[in-house]
A and B are shown apart, each in its own frame.
Chain A
């Protein structure tokens, strides 16, 4: 079973726009991670945020974590066509759970 749920399921934006995707989870966690997957192949680790952190940046990525609401968001700024992929949140608690994923399409 998947612990995380992501919203929206699909997102289509123009190149240069920002993309925001959200993740909600159910139990306590040690950290939350975001991954990207292209065309159903291996996942690429993007960023890890620990449970005692509220915000983290990496290049064009900004992640927030609200443990009181059991939710996280991933913001991709100035999107590019190459950002087209599925994005998954993953919670690291008693087990490692992936969310249902957001399919992002960036239109050139």
Chain B
């Protein structure tokens, strides 16, 4: 069985541009969450979706948005990129929305120049 897959693995963007990151959860997992991890820090929660509905939103500006598709895959969009958006973006999936461990993908390394 394939794990959580994220694409692309690496990405370089210019300030002000927009970026879309993609995540495919483990088959059968209906919950997808997104996290931002800056070097040397723990991951910070951005969004959680379960059954295509937003179940949680972290303390991030409106430039960050996400959605979950009928096949449970998900996209994270970031508009008007800032240098401070440079980070590892992690996607995680789970069979349920709460009280279950998450399986993480290997992440997308975003560099904003």
Contact surface of A with B, Cβ cutoff 8 Å: 1-2, 4, 30-31, 33, 35, 40-45, 48, 50, 88, 92, 94-101
Contacts and interface: CB of A to CB of B under 8 A. Distances in A.
B106 A41 contact: yes
Nearest to B4: A42
A49 to B, nearest CB: 11
Contact of A45 (B56, B102, B106): B102
17 contacts: A2-B44, A4-B42, A35-B104, A40-B37, A41-B106, A42-B106, A43-B92, A44-B104, A45-B101, A88-B42, A95-B58, A96-B45, A96-B48, A98-B42, A98-B44, A98-B45, A101-B42
A50 B42 CA distance: 21
**Interface of B: prevailing SS:** loop
B99 A92 contact: yes
A4 B106 CA distance: 23
Given A40-B39, A97-B45, A100-B42, A31 B105 contact: no
A95 B56 contact: yes
B30 to A, nearest CB: 16
B64 to A, nearest CB: 15
Interface string B47-81: 01000000010110000000000000000000000
A71 B37 CA distance: 23
B43 interface: yes
B28 to A, nearest CB: 16
A48 B102 CA distance: 10
